[in-house]
């Protein structure tokens, strides 16, 4: 089992003003899964993604990542896990405007202590994987929205993570660019990359193997997607 969440609750605030955000969430993800999480604004889906990505901790419940209990990890261990085992893709790309595509993709390798020549080689390989081998020296201002998102995906893949987490990966893209990103996700998943994405778009979610619907912090539906 890659991920195993059991009876996860997440609350914000303190008594008497506690706000429950997640309520009794249980979820299992195996290697090679492709999961879409859907829900209206304020449903708790982003909070769930943050907990899965070890950016936040549950109030109660158990979260096992490859059979390791996340609650027993200190901040340094969580940082290492995020760096080496989780790739993040955000709606707004989060690219550094002053850096080239190659430099943006290589950023996680700096934190990993990889020397420059190896960083650049691995970044070029990752950019080739997403079809941007001819854009390595381009800065974000010289790229289309779809190309920026593919740079972000290459960066997320640079450390060969166990799981790719994508928050509204097509939300800032036009229809054609969004379709290209979904085709890339399918190709990555076909190669064995595990993907969990948040989306409000049912047509995007249909590309996944499993679709979870969250309302008011609870999973109300767990069904197979079109790719199952």
Which one of 3.30.70.1450, 3.40.50.300, 1.10.510.10, 3.30.70.2970 gives the CATH number of domain 3-224?
3.40.50.300
Going by C-alpha positions, the residue among 98, 99, 155, 147 that lies closest to residue 124 is: 155
> Which residues of the chain register pLDDT less than 50?
none
pTM: 0.95
Q: What is the pLDDT of residues 31-52, one digit of tens each?
A: 999 999 999 999 999 999 999 9
User: Rounded to whole angstroms, how far apart are CA atoms 182 and 28?
Assistant: 23
User: Rounded to whole angstroms, how far apart are CA atoms 153 and 133?
Assistant: 14
Report whether 171 contacts 136 (CB < 8 A): no
Parse the chain into domains and list their residue ranges: 3-224
């Amino acid at each position: 089992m890659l991920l195993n969440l059991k009876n996860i609750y997440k609350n914000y605030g303190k008594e008497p003003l506690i706000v429950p955000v997640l309520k009794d969430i249980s979820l299992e993800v195996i290697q090679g899964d492709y999961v879409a999480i859907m829900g209206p604004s304020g449903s708790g889906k982003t909070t769930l993604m943050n907990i899965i990505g070890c950016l936040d901790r549950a109030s109660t419940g158990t979260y096992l990542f490859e059979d390791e209990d996340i609650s027993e990890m200190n901040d340094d261990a969580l940082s290492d896990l995020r760096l080496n085992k989780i790739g993040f893709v955000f709606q707004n790309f989060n690219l550094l405007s002053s850096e080239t595509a190659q430099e943006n993709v290589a950023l996680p390798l700096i934190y990993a202590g990889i020397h420059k020549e190896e960083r650049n080689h691995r970044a070029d390989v990752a950019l080739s994987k997403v079809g941007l081998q001819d854009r390595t020296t381009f800065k974000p201002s010289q790229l289309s929205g779809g190309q920026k998102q593919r740079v972000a995906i290459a960066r997320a893949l640079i450390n060969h993570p166990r799981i790719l987490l994508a928050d509204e990966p097509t939300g800032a893209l036009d229809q054609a660019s969004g379709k290209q990103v979904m085709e890339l996700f399918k190709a990555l998943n076909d190669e064995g990359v595990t993907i969990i994405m948040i989306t409000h778009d049912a047509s995007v979610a249909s590309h996944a193997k499993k679709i979870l619907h969250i309302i008011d912090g609870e999973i109300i539906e767990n069904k197979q997607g079109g790719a199952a």
